[in-house]
Amino acid sequence: MAEKKKAPATAKKKNQTLEIIKRLARNKVAMAAGIVFVLLFVMAIFAPLLEPYDYTLMNGKLAFAKPSLEHPFGCDRLGRDLMSRIIRGSRFSLGMGLLGVLCSLAAASVLGSVAGFFGQVADNIVMRLLDVIQAIPGILLTMTISTVLGRGFFNTVLALSIGGIPGNTRMLRAMILAIRNSEYVEAASSINCSKARIIAKHILPNAFAPVLVGAAMGIGGTIGQASMLSFVGLGIQPPDPEWGALISDGRNYIATYPHLIVFPGLMIGIVSLCACLLADGLRDATDPKLKK
């Protein structure tokens, strides 16, 4: 009995990461969304093995075929199996979403740290630059950059990530400033912690969680933006089966063959939804304030 009573006091010192994972695991919705999310990426990686048909194979007889047992999502205007095209297209959509967010966050963390760490002048320059960039509404900025860079996978990733830089930089800068001015960092520097140590031990771990949440949240939005770029004629263009390109390809047949649009759109929706749910779950699990 006596030992049992001591347990709670030591239990408080549990590993924080473990604690976060445990809390996330208890959130069934977030876990389900996370699993679907991971499965979608697995699908993208093994796309060639999973496609029931060759995604480029045309079959005139099957043009505009409605969904059936052989072709669960039906066929497009050239008789290509839509399911295979969507599976292959996940490589474009998910790839652009993931890469776009990662590049954007990488660039933003450089800019955000410069602004947050290196005093007034650097901060002013970065912030005024962001003021200018953010005066252009987000989608418009991405469209403009995409126009300049041209179509194609990597150009679009670049356009998407540049479009995301201002928002992410602001978020990171605000966070770095908040952490830098916090009392625990002051405490650390008062006991002569080196700058490098403060950054590694105090700032990064505290900045990591919100960035992770932001990234999860951003993937859904970025995939949506990518598909929109394709839709207005930028981004990835047919015959590449990016999901937005598939929608764009089928838009003229919406009245008669809606399946051409329904399925790719649902895929975008499902990915965004999972990303959103996962991000929400992560935020709840990492925000100690919500424990109470």
Partner 1 sequence: MWRYVLKRLGMMVFVVLGVAILVFSLMYFVPGDPAMLILGSGADPADVARLRAQMGIDKPYLVQLGTFLNNLLHLDFGVSYQYNTPVIESVKERLPRTLFLSVMVIIFQTLIGIPLGITAAVNAGKWQDTFCVIVSMIGLAIPGFWLSLMSIKVFSVNLGWFPSFGIDSWKSYVLPIVTMAIGGLSMNTRQTRAAMLEVIRADYVTTAKAKGVSAHDVIYKHALPNALIPVITMIGGSFGGALGGAIIAESVFVMPGLGLYLTNAINALDYAVVRSVVVILAVWFSMIMLVTDLVYAFVDPRIKAQYTGK
Partner 2 sequence: MSQNKDFLRIEDLVVEYTSDGEIVQAVNGVSLSLEKGKTLGLVGETGAGKTTIAKTIMRILPEPPARVCRGRIEFEDRDLLNLPEKEMLHIRGNQIAMIFQDPMTALNPVMTVGSQIAEVIELHDHLSGGEAKRKAVEMLEMVGIPGARYDNYPHEFSGGMKQRVVIAMALACAPQLLLADEPTTALDVTIQAQVLEMIADLKKRYDTSMILITHDLGVVARTCDDVAVVYAGEIIENGSLEDIFDHPTHPYTIGLFGALPKLTGNEKRLSPVEGLPPDPTHLPAGCKFSPRCPNVTEACRSGEVPAYEMTPGHFVRCHLAANAAKEV
Binding region for partner 2 (CB under 8 A):
1-2, 5-9, 11, 23, 26, 291-292
**Residue 26 contacts which entry, partner 2, partner 1, none (Cβ below 5-8 A, type-dependent):** partner 2
Give the nearest distance from C-beta 141 to partner 1 in angstroms.
Answer: 8
Smallest separation (angstroms) from partner 1 to the CB of 88: 19
Does residue 40 touch partner 1 according to CB under 8 A? Answer: no
SS3 of residue 44 by DSSP: helix
Q: Which of partner 2, partner 1, none has residue 291 at its interface (CB below 5 to 8 Å by kind)?
A: partner 2
- Nearer to partner 1 by Cβ, of 116 and 281: the residue is 281
Task: Choose among partner 1, partner 2, none what residue 277 binds, the Cβ cut-off being 5 to 8 Å by kind.
Answer: partner 1
| Tokens linked to 152 | 């194609």
Rounded to 5 degrees, φ, ψ at 105 are -65, -40
Residue 30 Cβ, how far from partner 2 at the closest point, in Å? Answer: 15
Q: Which amino acid is at 136?
A: I
**To the nearest whole angstrom, how small is the minimum distance from the Cβ of residue 221 to partner 1?**
9
Locate 100 and state its tokens. 């776009």
The CA distances from residue 158 to 107, 153, 185, 207, 227, in Å, are: 11, 9, 35, 24, 15
* Closest separation in Å from C-beta 204 to partner 2: 27
For 82-112, the DSSP string reads HHHHHHHHHHHHHHHHHHHHHHHHHHHHHHH
Helix (H, G, I), strand (E, B) or coil at 75: strand
Q: Which does 152 bind (CB under 5 to 8 A by kind): partner 1, partner 2, none?
A: none
70-90 burial, b at 16+ Cβ within 10 Å, e below that, comes to ebebbbbebbbbbbbbbbbbb
Interacting residues with partner 1 (CB under 8 A): 128-129, 131-133, 135-140, 143-145, 147-148, 150, 220, 224, 227-228, 231-234, 244, 247, 251, 254-255, 258, 261-262, 265, 268-273, 275-277, 280
